[in-house]
Structure 1
Amino acid sequence: MHPLQAPDITQATAVAAVDLVKVYGTGDTAVRALDGVTVGFARAQFTAIMGPSGSGKSTLMHCLAGLDTATSGRALLGGTDLTAQSDRVLTKVRRERIGFVFQSFNLLPQLTAEQNILLPLELAGRSAERGLLQHLTESLGLTGRLTHRPGELSGGQQQRVAVARALVSRPEVVFADEPTGNLDSRSGAEVLTFLRNSVRELGQTVVMVTHDPGAAAYADRVVMLADGRIAGELHDPDHGSIAAALQELGARR
């Protein structure tokens, strides 16, 4: 079978793009970062988005997460069209329905690890599920670090705090943007294993942008982008199939 298959959005999706276009700039300097992208991301699945530098993968994630506005098309979170919402509504959606894990951790330095984890719930006026909080902190090896501030934690520990923060509110989808980019290989593997386990054990939906085939191999599915368009996808990927697909993309250019 050909390693790249056409995208499919017929299954139940947590988040989807429909003919999504994003143009930066105007006139002769305009850059078409997304060029009519249609793709869905299934519930309770771990999907990686990959592609060459400048392919539009981060732009796609930012539009799907309500962090950036599309030029045209739709970004759907469940039944909500994010492209039709006000800034106030988008802020509420991001706070209550989406979890984020960033390469740079984005923890508040003055708060303890536990306070950072619980911050999304506090902002939303919700109480923590103590059982879930205990499960997250124990599974991530953070039980003895909850009173520490970010400056007292290693990079791997800080990213595990960020993962717990992203999951503690049971969001509809967690977006992870190069989550292992600032980690050594062992810490990166721990974070990726936990993200994969959150899909299996908690039914979480995870969408991750990465340039690393090793990281993408933890996913159930890899969506490939090139020049702002969907270039195909892989199911049950491994390092070899991902490397072959990336090589094929490079040969097309």
Structure 2
Amino acid sequence: MYAPLAHEHHPYQHVDHPADAAAAAVDLVKVYGKGETQVRALDGVSVTFARARFTAIMGPSGSGKSTLMHCLAGLDRPTAGQALLAGTDLAGRSERELTRIRREQIGFVFQAFNLLPQLTAERNITLPLDLAGRRPDPELLRYLVTALGLAERLGHRPAELSGGQQQRVAIARALVSRPEVVFADEPTGNLDSRSGAQVLSVLREAVRELGQTVVMVTHDPGAAAHADRVVLLADGRVAGAIDRPDVASVTDALRRLAAGR
């Protein structure tokens, strides 16, 4: 077993102050467009994401799920408020600083995998470290490829891998640099149910065994049930949260949101 990160917390510990969280939004506002076409995607969102926890963000279509994640990951700039990563406000950072922060402190897992087709699985995994001029921790790399069942696939290119294997390569790539937070945007959206369950189990184990922080956007109650906590959004605002979620509690909460209750 690989040693967990030094900042591992109890899996159900809440964070009282945004500066102590792995990521946080404070009165976050994001407005797209102007005048009659203006859309208020985030309308004063305040929420914290504790270290070493797996949190799912859920809500109806257009509720602001992906916008919140993109602002927290430095992929989009908020109109107002703070987007904090390990206590650092990303809102006032230059593009150059944001690029460095994303490369050094954030891991990404997307629905589309985003692997480079000309590179082997191993090169795809280590690519962010290569670009940063860093060498991977050989013990962590060995742990990840073994835990993810990729040891026999490292020399294969993406076209030679199944969808589930490609997503596991993307997860290894996101984890190998030991980032502050791994952001996962619908990571099981392009996978069959079996491959999706494997990917979610891997993310769950990354939290439990490595002390990693994972924030996942999903519309699937089954996927959200793997998380420690679910944050609910509606109309660009926080609409509630569920600790120790299961499929029934998440489904019921989403039904209530859809009904406006």
> What is the CA–CA distance in structure 1 between the aligned matches of 2:89 and 2:82, rounded to whole Å?
6
Partner of 1:170: 178
Q: How far apart are residue 176 of structure 1 and its match?
A: 0.1
In structure 2, which of residues 100, 119, 129 is the aligned counterpart of residue 121 of structure 1? Answer: 129
Is 1:185 aligned to 2:193, yes or no?
yes
Partner of 1:196: 204
Partner of 2:157: 149
- Counterpart of 1:10, as a letter, is D
In structure 2, which of residues 58, 82, 85 is the aligned counterpart of residue 77 of structure 1? Answer: 85
Alignment of 1:94-113 (within 5 A): 94-113=102-121
> What is the CA–CA distance in structure 2 between the aligned matches of 1:67 and 1:31, rounded to whole Å?
18
Is 1:218 aligned to 2:252, yes or no?
no
In structure 2, which of residues 1, 6, 16 is the aligned counterpart of residue 10 of structure 1? Answer: 16
Q: Which ranges of structure 2 fall in alignment gaps of 5 or more residues?
A: 1-13
Is 1:66 aligned to 2:69, yes or no?
no
Partner of 1:4: none
Is 1:206 aligned to 2:245, yes or no?
no
Q: How far apart are residue 56 of structure 1 and its match?
A: 0.3
> What is the CA–CA distance in structure 2 between the aligned matches of 1:139 and 1:78, rounded to whole Å?
27
Structure 1 residues 86, 18: closer, same or farther in 2, change over 3 A? Answer: same
SS in 2 for 1:208: strand
Q: How far apart are residue 13 of structure 1 and its match?
A: 0.9
CA RMSD, Structure 1 to Structure 2 (Å): 0.9
- Counterpart of 2:180, as a letter, is E
> What is the CA–CA distance in structure 2 between the aligned matches of 1:29 and 1:97, rounded to whole Å?
35
Is 1:246 aligned to 2:254, yes or no?
yes
What CA deviation, in whole Å up to 9, does each residue of 1:145-192 have, x standing for no partner? Answer: 000000111100000000000000000000000000000000000000
Note if contact 1:48-1:221 (Cα within 8 Å) is conserved in structure 2: yes
Q: How far apart are residue 124 of structure 1 and its match?
A: 1.2
TM-score (norm 1): 0.96
SS in 2 for 1:76: strand
- Counterpart of 1:45, as a letter, is R
- What's the % identity of the aligned pairs? 73
SS in 2 for 1:143: coil
> What is the CA–CA distance in structure 1 between the aligned matches of 2:249 and 2:109, rounded to whole Å?
26
Note if contact 1:9-1:39 (Cα within 8 Å) is conserved in structure 2: no
- Counterpart of 2:203, as a letter, is L
Partner of 1:34: 42
Q: How far apart are residue 79 of structure 1 and its match?
A: 2.4
> What is the CA–CA distance in structure 2 between the aligned matches of 1:73 and 1:9, rounded to whole Å?
19
> What is the CA–CA distance in structure 2 between the aligned matches of 1:77 and 1:237, rounded to whole Å?
25
In structure 1, which of residues 134, 157, 176 is the aligned counterpart of residue 142 of structure 2? Answer: 134
> What is the CA–CA distance in structure 1 between the aligned matches of 2:87 and 2:119, rounded to whole Å?
35
> What is the CA–CA distance in structure 2 between the aligned matches of 1:213 and 1:52, rounded to whole Å?
12
Note if contact 1:62-1:68 (Cα within 8 Å) is conserved in structure 2: yes
Q: How many residues align?
A: 246
Q: How far apart are residue 9 of structure 1 and its match?
A: 4.6
Note if contact 1:41-1:47 (Cα within 8 Å) is conserved in structure 2: yes
TM-score (norm 2): 0.93
> What is the CA–CA distance in structure 1 between the aligned matches of 2:145 and 2:115, rounded to whole Å?
16
Note if contact 2:21-2:87 (Cα within 8 Å) is conserved in structure 1: no
Q: Which ranges of structure 1 fall in alignment gaps of 5 or more residues?
A: 1-7
What CA deviation, in whole Å up to 9, does each residue of 1:124-147 have, x standing for no partner? Answer: 111111110011000110000000
